[in-house]
Copies of this chain bind each other. A is one copy, B any other.
Amino acid sequence: MRIILASKSPRRREILTMLGVPFEIVSADADETSNITDPALLVRELALRKGRAVRELLRSEGRLDENTLIIASDTVVAAEGRILGKPTDDADAARMLRMLSGRSHHVISGVALLQGTREIADFDQTAVRFAPMTEAEILWYVQSGEPRDKAGAYAVQGLASLFIEGLTGDYFNVVGLPVHKLDLLVRTFTGRSLPELSL
């Protein structure tokens, strides 16, 4: 089985590497505009689109065969009824962190698997509870540079851990790839577990 990770995210690469799964990275731009307002349905759809974009790219290059399994994922942060993507700048990051401070929010990742013409997709959700942050703490955290390029303007695996009281659900879902859910999906789709794919 040849495994393709349809993602540019260094965090997703690290997670798959940690699991001992050999994989290649192929990413392709997918249309991310959507009318879907439910975050779980949205990330499920965006993961599928990312996977399909990579499938089309591989097909057009003559590199797609029945042995190729494409894994795609998309993550958003949902807080106060709004969906937070990556901050546009430091002021936007500070605005997002003020929304998260002293409250719980949800991190939702969609996962899609594609092989030949077959597709399967699902999502996983984790609640994350932030301690109240002072304005000085928000500025300190923004200035650390960590919020850049992170959905919701924080990295659970970094300095933000100082401000996170706790979470409920899969930790790796917050990092960007819901490991347990992915393994369940791989078992349903291929009849083998994620580690068995490379045997």
Interface residues of A (CB under 8 A from B): 18-20, 126, 131, 137, 140, 156-159, 161-172, 179-180, 183, 193-195
Contacts and interface: CB of A to CB of B under 8 A. Distances in A.
Closest 6 CB pairs of A and B: A171-B171, A161-B179, A166-B169, A168-B168, A162-B183, A166-B170
A145 to B, nearest CB: 12
A179 B18 CA distance: 22
30 contacts: A18-B157, A18-B159, A18-B161, A19-B159, A20-B159, A126-B166, A131-B180, A137-B193, A156-B171, A161-B170, A161-B172, A161-B179, A161-B180, A162-B179, A162-B180, A162-B195, A163-B180, A164-B179, A164-B180, A165-B170, A165-B180, A166-B168, A166-B169, A167-B167, A167-B168, A167-B169, A167-B170, A167-B171, A168-B168, A171-B171
Contact of A140 (B165, B167, B180, B195): B195
A57 B85 CA distance: 50
A140 B192 CA distance: 14
Nearest to A196: B140
